[in-house]
Each structure stands twice: as structure tokens, then as C-alpha cells.
Chain A
Amino acid sequence: MAQTRNPSRKARQKPSAIPFFQPALFERPIHPRSAISSNDFSVAEVRRILMAADALEREDPLRRAKRLAKRRVALLFYESSTRTRTSFELAAKALGADTTLVSSLSSSIEKGESLKDTGITLKALGAECIILRSPYSGAPYLLARATGLPVLNAGDGMAEHPSQALLDLRTILQHLGVRAAAVSETCLRGVTVTICGDILHSRVARSNELLLPRLGAKVILCGPPQLLPETAAGMMPGIAIERDFDAALEQSQIVMMLRIQAERLAGLQIDLDDYRSRYQASAERIAAHAPTAVILHPGPIIRGMEMVSEVADGPQSAIAQQVHNGVPIRMALVARALSGEKKGGRR
């Protein structure tokens, strides 16, 4: 937002030298320990977060609970969630923080309160960090600007879900036997990750696309043109599109399946039988083309659609491990967000 309490003051101090294509003049800066996009983390920062996740997971629960004792973390959820909400909440509580959940159906959001006002309200109630899930892409930036607080993005529209990408990464590294301390620009060199399904509507796919290639991985996107536009490959170097799922599987050590997001299709017609025949992770297909690959899914799984039970529950599946990794990763993100500031510290 360029609207500010006094928009001209900043501009007057520093008139732009280049008149056009200047970056937006935002009302307020985004808190630097927010986690809104995978791009917010340098490789060194990814390493630090993964190491912190390991350390926090190992730590004595009673000692751990003193880290953020009585600090206030708000969860603001405008969309339903099982895994992400529960693991963020457990993570904050494991660090000793008080959490409060505000969801769209049981709050003044129902009466039309804006995201900005909701954020200001939570801040006034003492929240020092807000974890946001929103159906609108970019909403975390608005909340971060409006409140000045660190905002952790628990999924915004079709845009990003960075904590999911980090927990996916942790799962991948565990299977490859790469320690968190070894995370680098090349730690996934030689590793091919196929992401298959409804890429267009997937914030998980985007956050992974922005993270994994920076660690040396090759990412293959797979899906029908309606759900995977050619422009998707342009997000990063190291991303390729392969429409033939079998061919993609042959190259991959890691396979991430996505559901079709029926709630975001917006009138798009998909022939589901055809989809299943081309893109379903069936037992036969996995056995034939990726018998040793690690199978991931961010959930929720629509069994019988993108994946069958034999695969979801089979020996190659790391889906439950992904869910498990949600708590340590989110502990690290919450601890990072509240680090370096005293309780109740207001800026």
C-alpha cells in the first residue's frame, strides 16, 4: 500500500532518481523475521532454520518451554487447515508461547472486519507474531505492513506456503542422509524432484519451486496444460516441464504429488478419468517407473484421485514424516520470528 499516514514525508526525503519502474513505496517495511516467501530465506538462513529445528526437536521439553514463555502468538486462519494449523499451534506452545486462534467463522471477520483492522486488533491485544492463512495471494504482505509484526505465512491463496517447503526439504534431506549443517547451494546437486498435479493453484508448488533449485536440485513439473501453464517453468532456473508422468518418474528420486484444488478451479473443466490415467500415482506406475523414489504429498490427499492408498500407505511414502516435520520446522520459524525482541517489545 502506498497510502500512508504521511506518504509524502518519506518521498520528500528521498525523491526517486529514476522516474519509472521504481520499486513500490510501501507504507512500512516488512518485519525482517517474517516468513512470507521461500525467497525470504538465503541458503545460509535455510541452513540455520533446519539446524534450529533439529536442536529444538532434541531439546528437553521443559527447557524448551521456557524459550518463549508467555509470549503471545496469534493464529489467524481464513481458510480451513488441519496439519498446518495444528503444527504451528503445537510448535508455539512447545516453546512456551500463549497462542490464540482467530478463524473467519467465529470472529468479527464475519462482520466484515478487514485484514488490516484484524491485524491491528491482534497487535493491540499483545500478539507479537501472527501466523496467517488466507485465501488471497499476497495477504501476508498487507498484514505485515499494517502491523509491523513478524508474519508467518501459513499459506496465501495460490502464492506461497514457505513452511511447507521447509518441512518438505527437511524430509528430503533426511531421506538422502544430508545433515542440516551441510545445507548449501549444492547439497541437492544430482537430485531430481518431480512435482505432479495441480501446479497452477498450488502454493506448495510455488514455495518448493523457489527453494529447491537454489540448493542444486532439478525440479520437474508435471501436469496437464490447464493445471500447469508453460509460464510455470520461468519462475527459476533449474525448473523444467515434463508432461509425461512416467518419463518424469524415471528421472526422479523424490516425487511430490498434489491434489486438484477443486475450490480454486473457477470453472475449469478437468476430465478426471483422463487425469487419473495420465497423472495418478498408482501402485503399478510407481513400481514400474520409480520403484525407489520417496513419495511426498502436502495433504490433504484425495485418495483414488492423485494417489491410491497402496502408494500413500506404502513403504515409499514419507507423507506421515512430512507431517511430523511440521512441528520442528515451525518451532524454528516461530522462535526466529520472536528472537531478538523482549517480551511485549513494541516498535
Chain B
Amino acid sequence: MKDLLLRGGRVADPASGLDAVRDVLLREGKVAAMEIPGQIQAPDAEVFNAKGLIVAPGLVDIHVHLREPGQAYKETIASGTAAAAAGGFTSVCAMPNTIPVNDSPEITRWMQAPDRGASARVFPIAAATLGSMGEALTNYSALKDAGAVAVTDDGKPILGDGIMLEALRSAAKVGLPVIQHAEDTRLTGGCSMNAGALAFRLGLRGMPVEAESGLVERDLSLLKKVKGGHLHVAHLSTKKALDAVRAARKSGLHVTCEVTPHHFALTEERIGLYDTNAKMNPPLRAEADRAAMIEGLLDGTIDAIATDHAPHAAHEKEQEFDRAPNGITGLETALGLAISLLHVQHKMPLPAVLALLSSRPARALGLTGRGALTVGSAADVLVFEPAERWVFHAADSRSRSKNTPFDGTEMQGRVRLTVGDGRVVFRAPR
């Protein structure tokens, strides 16, 4: 691997607080040097002119569905991580709802094997229960040894109090967070969007806000009983659940949470006339909830922006709204949406936006050495043009699937170069 010298960019590393023009030398998969421009001597290195660009740690997405093993027609680890690289992500945490479910060290290792051809580092999140059936716990210590960074039954929330308590206890023992997709499915049978006036108008069954907040509140009450327990709430979407997390955090509980770009960028109105590319779970909510997500990002309650990248084939989304599967792709639009909404619209400083996409999610799931750009850290680097406005086209996506509500959306902030473990994994076409 040739050395790479990123010359003259503004280095914004939210982990260390550095925000200054630096040359950065990447060597053998590590950040080898970072100096005031002109001081690094590396005659053999490939030089990338980063003048006028931001040099940031490679982004970290702690919630993606890579669909492998089992559903390669939607996505593969190779295609999903290629999309990640194009979106500036160098680390992705892969959810276990594969076929078969990733509930074993074997699958966990398989997902990380070099043969998968990944363009980003894949950190598997393993199933919290066998087959994600919510009955018997998986072997957390073996899964952790195999590389799992958390456990979850994402998409199949753990409803039983006893098993959830057991999961939190066992995970605490081995130092893993339990991630919950907070949805009380007893309240959401047959539902395909947010409950409320619009659902009534469209004749669709709606998921009440309480289905999310109720389960978050239940989980927080269980977490209180577990010494050293860590709960991470996936894709938060309602003000009520966010308020519960905020209060629990204040009371000293170890709870972290994430929000998706679509939940802070869009409302249920985006469904329009039954557009299945606006169907996901949790559903797009009302404006008050969207505004609460922005508020939670601005005030620091929300730890991470995570995409919940959920690719589906065209023929699956081209169905009646109730029949179409939940989920949208998100890896290539996250940075642009975060900059457009949080930095441009709500004046959040760029390093704070980057923290939500790198250092803070890395910390939330304990991904050591990721989401930081300092000498000695992994050579995971994102170089982007913060002011460039561009239009995202789903057809150009590296993902195998094109199910996104952001096709044709203009956004600000465009990736120029992504380096993962010292290797150039994405370079914007000139």
C-alpha cells in the first residue's frame, strides 16, 4: 500500500477538538503524521490536494443492513460497503437480521472475512436471542470474541421483560451494549405508517407514538436494575421516547441513542400518494417529532446519526403500500442531509455534525480507534467539500438497491475521497 499524503486540508477531528489546516500522512493503515502544512517530508507518497476541503475521520454508521448472508439480490457486503465508502463511511455496524440470522460466532466471523470484499470495516452486531426469536439468549462472550460489538434483535423487538432483563445483564457482564428497536409490536399489528390524521385520511393503520416510547420506558426501567448495563436505543423517532432517554441520562443511566437522517429530514407527509420509498419502521412521524429530533441532535441528547440503511429490490417496493417492505437506503445521503439540515439550516458547527457521524457513534458502541483522526489512529479518512451543493440520484448509487425518498434531492456537502484502513475506497469522479 502506497503512503498517502493529504495536503493542505482543514482537519476537523471532533474527538480531539482539532480544527486547523494540517498535512496528514497515512502509512500502513495508520495515521502516521499530522503537521502544519509543508513540514511532512514524504517524497514517495501519493499526494492528494485537500486545499479548501475538510479532512475528517472516516464516518461511522452503527446501524446498517447489508443483507448478507441470504439476500444478495438486495445487497451484498461488498455493494453495501461500496455505498458506505461513497457516502464517507469507513466503519459500518451490520445488523443481524440476515438469512440465517447472525446469532453465531461463525456468521459473525464470516461477515468480517476478507473474502466478502468489503470497502469499509464491518463490525457485526449479533442477535440478542437465538434466531431473534426472543426466547433464549445467544452466547454473548463467544460473539464478542468473534468480533460482535453489540447485541440486538433489531426489527423483532424483545418484548418479554424477563428475557430483556437477562439480555441486559448478560451483555453487561461481557461489556456489550444491548440495542433495542423500540416498538411494542402488540400495538402495531398491520400498521404501515405513523398514527394520526394522515393515516386516517390514507386509510392506513397507524403506529402510535406510545408503541415506541412505551418500550423505551420499559427498557429504561429494566436498565435501572442492571449494574453496568448499557442500553442503546436504535433509530429514535418520537419526542416522547427522546424525552424518556433524556430524563434517564440525567438520572445517571448508561443509555445512548441514535436517529436517522430521514427522521430529522422528513415527515409523514412525504408518503404523498402511497410512496413506498417513504415507508420504513419506525415510520416517518409528524412535524413536532421531527423538530424534536433536530432539538435532540442540537442539545446533545442524541449520540449518533445512523442511517438504518435498508436496501430492498425494486419489485419489492413496487407493491401496495401495506405489502411493501419497510426501509430505505441511506449511506450515500447521510452526510449531505446532516450538513444541509444541521449545519446550514440550524447552524450547528461542522465539527459537531461530524462528531454525530464519527466519534460519538464510535464511542457509543466502543469501536476503539475508529471515528478519530489522530496520529496512531486507523487511517480512516473522509475528505469532503463542505460548501458544494449537489443533487443525489438514486440511479448513481453504489448500493444494489435504489429505494430512497431522496432521489433528486439537492443537498450540501459532497464526498471527494474516502480512505479506509489506509486504502482509497472511494474517489469522486472528476
Contacts and interface: CB of A to CB of B under 8 A. Distances in A.
Interface of A: 1-3, 6-8, 10-12, 15-17, 19-26, 30, 114-116, 134, 136-139, 141-142, 146, 156-160, 200, 203, 206, 229, 231-232, 234-235, 266-267
A99 B271 CA distance: 34
B152 interface: no
A21 B404 contact: no
B202 interface: yes
Contacts of B407: 2, 7-8, 11, 25
Contact of A139 (B269, B278, B320, B403): B320
Contacts of B409: 16, 19-20, 22
Residue among B270, B321, B402 with max Cβ neighbours from chain A (10 Å): B321
B202 A138 contact: yes
B93 to A, nearest CB: 27
Contacts of B340: 19
A3 B402 contact: yes
Given A11-B408, A16-B391, A235-B201, 19 more contacts: A1-B277, A1-B314, A2-B402, A3-B402, A7-B394, A7-B402, A16-B408, A16-B409, A19-B340, A19-B411, A24-B271, A24-B278, A138-B320, A141-B274, A142-B320, A146-B318, A231-B197, A231-B199, A235-B200
A109 to B, nearest CB: 12
Contacts of B315: 114
Contacts, number: 140
A232 B265 contact: no
Contact of A2 (B322, B323, B405, B411): B405
Given A3-B402, A8-B393, A115-B319, A157 B408 contact: no
Contacts of B273: 24, 26, 30, 138, 141
A189 to B, nearest CB: 25
Interface of B: 189-190, 196-197, 199-205, 265-267, 269-278, 314-315, 317-323, 340-341, 391, 393-396, 402-405, 407-411
Contacts of A115: 319-320
Nearest to A27: B318
Contacts of B275: 1-2, 24, 26
A339 to B, nearest CB: 23
Nearest to A142: B320
Contacts of B411: 19
Contacts of B403: 2-3
Contacts of A146: 318
A3 B203 contact: no
A282 to B, nearest CB: 29
Given A3-B402, A12-B391, A19-B340, A203 B201 contact: no
Given A11-B407, A157-B203, A1 B276 contact: yes
14 contacts: A1-B317, A2-B405, A7-B393, A8-B396, A11-B393, A11-B407, A19-B409, A22-B408, A24-B277, A26-B273, A137-B274, A157-B203, A158-B203, A234-B200
A141 B319 CA distance: 10
B189 A267 contact: yes
A20 B204 contact: no
Contacts of B205: 266
Given A24-B272, A138-B320, A206 B277 contact: no
Contacts of B396: 8
B410 A2 contact: no
A249 to B, nearest CB: 24
Nearest to B196: A231
A234 B407 CA distance: 31
A137 B323 CA distance: 10
A335 to B, nearest CB: 25
Nearest to A10: B408
Contacts of B393: 7-8, 11-12
Nearest to B319: A114
A2 B201 contact: no
A301 B318 CA distance: 35
A16 B410 contact: yes
B343 to A, nearest CB: 13
A206 B404 CA distance: 30
Contacts of B201: 206, 234-235
A229 B200 contact: yes
Shortest 4 CB-CB contacts between residues of A and residues of B: A138-B274, A159-B203, A11-B408, A158-B203
A26 to B, nearest CB: 7
A142 B319 contact: yes
A2 B404 contact: yes
Nearest to A78: B320
A235 B201 CA distance: 6
